[in-house]
A and B are shown apart, each in its own frame.
Chain A
């Protein structure tokens, strides 16, 4: 099955449809299910759409549809995007310009070539996604995802639903996505765009939203879904998991990221990238660097701290930090007070802060690898060598997610260093400035999004 029209026509159609949509009605054109009956009804319809997709759609066609919809969302004048931005800015309390960059990052990585690479890297027999293959001994099967995959997502950063949706659609699974009540818009809006290219594909995604702790909805979805994936705070997930002790549940909890500038790299070329990573989403996602380690003499770390401060000041002028809720701001204040006290007690460091404490860079040579509050606060530490760096990272109080590595990719030590960080648990290693742009294939928390969905199944038993 071909997408309905080329991208240009599709975007025009999408524009027209969204012009009629009312975002306050639960997404731009696609309703968000908020009751058990609505979710069950949507999943029944998704089942019918899935049967047609299983029968007639190739992986390339699915990729083409997803990439076309994602590309539409990277266009600055795409009407749904223009309509959604003020809502997201309001709900997430993020500067609009940073959200624009965020949307570019979220959808920019969903290109056709990236999705083909994704399939190639995670699926041993891509043909088996499309049709039954001979498994020997007279048996045949297809690589398919479970019939219904359920994702419950955190609300700290936007766009968390896009990679799961992509993986589920490639696996031909129905994807029920429960967004945070704080920002239920983007998933439904993206699904509406998908619908402009393929109603069947769009129907396989069920945006849903209900209040946390709704036991009725939780019971319904745990009965309905064949795979459960949760992201959010560790304590919330522990509570949910404890209610379903016999159910396998994939959890993605609290993680932090760090920056590293190794000895063999120049200090002066990474501050801009680190500042961009720090400012994006106000440091509330797991890919924000909380501590940046600089190998070598202390003066290198001190210099990076100063350069970073200059760069953060520029960002502050362009995108002033917006006040957050009391709990987050109080946590930030506690961090700042602790930095002040450490600076008074230890000396030897520098506490750099922007106007009105808009940003904070605490250069503290011996700083441990500890998560900060985000919100444009970062610690710069000095390490003498590789073994000290590893030792400090081993004592990180929260599992590692990403490492912004300030070293040219072509440098002969890059791969060794990357292996070291992978050994410490890092799942996303990239240049500073790219931390907040993980690829769709990012194995967050070590879970390969597509490969883990797939099993050899017969269509009959799976439909």
Chain B
């Protein structure tokens, strides 16, 4: 069965250990290409809306010769009913609020089998990109959603996988681990977070902070306001996701500087994650993984071996020349159950072994998990309430 084949391929990739998705012309595409084409043909038959989209574009499986030619569904197609993941026990992931309001959220239904695959993919990629040095169980602070607070957040489930697998478990300790300072209403307990970090800086176990870019920005603002410059234990690290959203978040450089100043976390231990509800695989800064493997290249977002990414020209949807900016397209085998080829409106440029995200296209709705944060507007100078475009 094709599905078994796909999972075997992913599991083989996981078993091979850390490694990045190959570039399209890296000459390692044979197996991936064959599988991708088969997955496309299968999804073309099974997902009615995707099939109609392909027909609308005049792109049929018989005419597709390489994975890079597979028609990519607009990420917004996930706002429609794809009629996938309809098995009993399926979970529904919803994207967080966008400027179009809650009624127009992306919806990704995953069967129990796909959910388990999501868990394996998430953990493998997290281990490869955030924990390549195997630091052991870490005191963990969650400044983002969890299944308990945001049942339909795919990010929340991913955080839970990570906590279950890598967090030091000491719920009664000081600091307690894992700890969460993020509520169901999108409210961040800043005082709790600051106190937790203060307690952790007096301990010896390295800390893992899982945050939204917006929440860690708010925590840095609070630390600045209180004049606190903490020194977290060596090997502590920060993983943030969501990216810059107008005036509500620090830039990447701002995050790196603040992490060093307020938490004593060096830049190479700050890893930004880029993911989306529509995809079951994630992309991470390769700063830490590169350093661990002896590389010192420019920071880039890297996906797992079972995915591919392209920077395409929005006018023609063909790959741009090296160094040119375009919009990002991803092909994720873990999306076997829905649609594997997803076209985003995120601006990007190829960099190193992956790509760099340059932001969201003007005219596209703002989206992403930083939209989850609601109650700390005002904690950051110049900030606006969630849901408002800056």
Residues of A within 8 A of B (CB): 323-324, 326-327, 329-335, 337-338, 340-341, 343-345, 351, 356-357, 373
Q: Are B76 and A337 in contact (CB under 8 A)?
A: yes
Candidates A335, A344, A373; contact of B56 at CB < 8 Å: A344
Closest to A351 in B: B56
Q: Are A331 and B361 in contact (CB under 8 A)?
A: yes
Closest to B358 in A: A326
CA gap between A330 and B362 in the complex, in Å: 8
Candidates A332, A335, A343, A345; contact of B315 at CB < 8 Å: A332
Q: Are A334 and B315 in contact (CB under 8 A)?
A: no
* A331-B363, A332-B314 known; A340-B347 Cβ under 8 A: no
* Cross-chain pairs A/B with CB under 8 angstroms, 24 sampled: A323-B313, A324-B315, A326-B325, A327-B362, A327-B363, A329-B313, A330-B314, A330-B363, A330-B364, A331-B361, A331-B364, A333-B314, A333-B345, A333-B361, A334-B363, A337-B76, A337-B343, A340-B56, A340-B57, A343-B56, A344-B52, A344-B80, A357-B315, A357-B316
CA gap between A329 and B49 in the complex, in Å: 25
Q: Are A330 and B345 in contact (CB under 8 A)?
A: yes
Candidates B57, B77, B315, B343; contact of A323 at CB < 8 Å: B315
CB of B320 to closest CB in A, whole Å: 9
Q: Are A333 and B56 in contact (CB under 8 A)?
A: no
Candidates A324, A334, A351; contact of B361 at CB < 8 Å: A334
CA gap between A341 and B315 in the complex, in Å: 18
CA gap between A373 and B361 in the complex, in Å: 13
Proximity bits, B73-112, A CB within 8 Å = 1, else 0: 0101101100000000000000000000000000000000
Q: Are A344 and B53 in contact (CB under 8 A)?
A: yes
Determine whether B326 belongs to the interface, using a CB cutoff of 8 Å to chain A: yes
A373 partner residues in chain B, CB cutoff 8 A: 363
B167 partner residues in chain A, CB cutoff 8 A: none
* CB contact list, B311-354 vs A, under 8 A: 313-317, 325-327, 343, 345, 347
CA gap between A345 and B81 in the complex, in Å: 9
CA gap between A329 and B325 in the complex, in Å: 12
CA gap between A76 and B192 in the complex, in Å: 74
Chain B: interface residue total (CB-CB under 8 A): 25
CA gap between A394 and B76 in the complex, in Å: 28
* A323-B315, A338-B76 known; A330-B53 Cβ under 8 A: no
* A333-B315, A345-B80, A373-B363 known; A326-B347 Cβ under 8 A: yes
Main secondary structure of the interface of A (DSSP, over half): helix
Closest to B364 in A: A334
* A333-B327, A334-B345, A357-B315 known; A327-B76 Cβ under 8 A: no
CB of B157 to closest CB in A, whole Å: 27
B53 partner residues in chain A, CB cutoff 8 A: 340, 344
Q: Are A329 and B56 in contact (CB under 8 A)?
A: no
Closest to B324 in A: A326
Q: Are A327 and B74 in contact (CB under 8 A)?
A: no
Q: Are A341 and B314 in contact (CB under 8 A)?
A: no
Q: Which of A326, A329, A332, A345 has the most CB of B within 10 A?
A: A326
A338 partner residues in chain B, CB cutoff 8 A: 76
CB of A190 to closest CB in B, whole Å: 32
B325 partner residues in chain A, CB cutoff 8 A: 326
Closest to A331 in B: B363
Closest to A330 in B: B361
CB of A331 to closest CB in B, whole Å: 4
CB of B80 to closest CB in A, whole Å: 6
CB of B56 to closest CB in A, whole Å: 6
Q: Are B76 and A326 in contact (CB under 8 A)?
A: no
CA gap between A331 and B313 in the complex, in Å: 12
Additional 15 contacts, C-beta under 8 A, given A330-B327, A341-B77: A326-B325, A329-B315, A330-B314, A330-B347, A331-B363, A333-B315, A333-B317, A333-B345, A337-B343, A338-B76, A340-B56, A341-B76, A344-B56, A344-B80, A357-B315
* A326-B314, A330-B347, A330-B361 known; A341-B74 Cβ under 8 A: yes
The 6 closest A-B pairs by CB, nearest first: A330-B361, A337-B74, A331-B363, A333-B314, A329-B314, A330-B314
B314 partner residues in chain A, CB cutoff 8 A: 326, 329-330, 332-333
CB of B223 to closest CB in A, whole Å: 32
* CB contact list, B337-388 vs A, under 8 A: 343, 345, 347, 361-364
Q: Are A331 and B74 in contact (CB under 8 A)?
A: no
Closest to B343 in A: A337
CA gap between A345 and B314 in the complex, in Å: 23
Q: Which of B313, B314, B362, B364 has the most CB of A within 10 A?
A: B314
CA gap between A345 and B74 in the complex, in Å: 14
CB of B389 to closest CB in A, whole Å: 11
A332 partner residues in chain B, CB cutoff 8 A: 314-315
CB of B52 to closest CB in A, whole Å: 5
CB of A339 to closest CB in B, whole Å: 10
Closest to A323 in B: B315
A344 partner residues in chain B, CB cutoff 8 A: 49, 52-53, 56, 77, 80
